[in-house]
Amino acid sequence: MSAFLRLEDIRKSYAGPGGQTEVLSGISLDAGQGQTIAIVGPSGCGKSTLLNIVGLLDRPTAGKVILDERELTALSDTEAAKVRNRKIGFVFQMHHLLPQCSVLENVLLPTLAGGKKLPAREFQSRAQELLERVGLKDRMQHRPGQLSAGQRQRAAIVRALILQPVLLLADEPTGALDKDNAEQIAELIVELNRQEKMTLIVATHSMELAGKMEWRYQLTQGVLRQSEI
């Protein structure tokens, strides 16, 4: 049986001033269900690029992303959108919460993405439950502008988890936070992974966060190497 998530020889290059520069030069990776993986490396090494490709936010120059025996890289835009919506959760360095909506509404946003209506009540209670779990129970009706940086990021994490994704991608989730907040968020992510059982890939240059993952990979010169620490 093949792995739950499989990356096959992913390549990505960009047009630069001096011709094409390859950012990812053949990345392959297998991950099982519920596994936690950290991708570390210095800024500019291509972590975000890789995560965006895995999360179907960008297309690789070559190579395949296979999730649950489905080749994601071959999907049409609409199908890709559906996969993003139902299978994948994203946490960014920036929270990207809609400033005009309340925390609860922001969290429920993914339920509106599909054409078909999802059972609102069910997700409503899940949202409330998740928000309670991340300690935002009494902040649900607040606007993002009224929250602290850490609270915003927690809301963003809940938004990523609302539709019970099988894959959670987190790109520098603690990058914009102070040390205490960063630690709390790291704990939270690990904890949530334990409860929700989704595969988790975290891109970070924080060794602390990386240390909490079962697997660690180093991204250098466009290739992935298993990391010791």
Partner 1 sequence: MNLIGITKQGLRFYWKTHLATGLAVLVAAAVLAGALAVGDSIKATLTRRAQMRLGRVGTAVQCPGLFRAKLAAELEEKLTPQQGQVASTNALQVVVAPVLRTTGFTENADGTVRVGNIQILGIDERYWKLGPQSSTRQAEEIKEGAAVSRALAQRLGLKAGQEIVVRMRAVGGTPAETVLTPEEQTRVSFRRTVARVVEDEAFGGFDLYSRPDSGLNVFVPLEELSAMTDAEGGVTWANMLLIGGAVNTNDIRQTLPTVWQLEDAGLELRLVDWPRVLELRSQGVFIPDAITQGIQKNVGGALGLVTYFVNELRCGLRTVPYSFVCAVDDMPQEKSPVTVTQEEMIINEWLADALKASEGDKIEIRYFVPSQAKKLVEQAGTFTVKTVIPMMGSGADSSLMPGYKALADAENCRDWKAGIPIDLSKIRPEDEEYWEKYKGAPKAFISMKAARLLWSSRFGTLTAIRFSVDEYDMRSLRAKILSAIDPWQAGFVVFDMRHTAHEAAKATTDFGSLVTGLSLFLIAASLILAGLVWSFGLRRRAMQVGMLSATGFTKGRIGWVFLLEEGPVVLVASLLGTAAGLVYTKLILAGLNSIWAGAAGGMKMLFAVRPQTMALAAGISIVMAAIVWLLRIREFTKRPAAQLLDRTQEILLPKGMVGFSLAGAVFLVFAAAGLSVYGTMVSAQAAGGMFFGAGAMILIAMSLFLSAGLAYLGVQAKRISSSRWGLAIKSAARRRGRSLAVSMTLAMGIFVVLATGIFQRTAPKDPAEKTSGTGGFTLWAQSSVPLVNDLNDTRFQQQVGIVFAEKGDFNAVSLRVQSAEDASCLNLGRAQQPSLWGVRPESLAGRFRFKKVLDRKPPANSWEWLNLDLGEDIVPAIGDWATVYWGLHKDVGDEVDYTDQNGRVFRLKIVAMLDDSILQGGLVISEKQFLKRFENTSGWTVFLMDVPVSSAGAAGKTLTQSLGVYGFEVQTTAERLTMFHQVENTYIGIFMVLGSLGLVIGTVGLGLVVLLNAMERTGEMAMMRAIGYKRKTLGLMLFAEHAGLLTAGLVFGIISAAVAAGPQLEQMANLPWKMVTSLTAVMWVNGLVWVGIAASATMRGDLLEPLRKE
Ligand X SMILES: Nc1ncnc2c1ncn2[C@@H]1O[C@H](COP(=O)(O)OP(=O)(O)O)[C@@H](O)[C@H]1O
Q: Under the rule (CB under 8 A), what is the footprint of partner 1?
A: 15, 48-49, 52, 55, 57-59, 77-78, 81-86, 88, 90, 92, 94, 96, 98-101, 104-105, 108-115, 120, 124, 144-145, 159-160
- Which residues in 79-174 belong to E strands, given as ranges? 88-91, 167-171
Residues 6+ apart with CB under 8 A from 203: 38, 39, 40, 47, 48, 50, 51, 169, 170, 171, 172
- The DSSP bridge pattern shows strands 215-220 and 36-40 to be parallel
* Among 14, 122, 146, 191, contact with ligand X (rule: CB under 6 A): 14
CB atoms within 10 A of CB 198: 21
120 binds, among ligand X, partner 1, Mg ion, none (CB under 5 to 8 A by kind): partner 1
178 binds, among Mg ion, partner 1, ligand X, none (CB under 5 to 8 A by kind): none
Question: Closer CB to Mg ion, residue 44 or residue 115?
Answer: 44
Question: Closer CB to ligand X, residue 47 or residue 84?
Answer: 47
Closest CA to 89 of 164, 145, 20, 29: 164
Q: What six digits make up the tokens of 176?
A: 């914009």
* Among 17, 18, 44, 115, contact with ligand X (rule: CB under 6 A): 44
Binding site for ligand X (CB under 6 A): 14, 23, 43-49
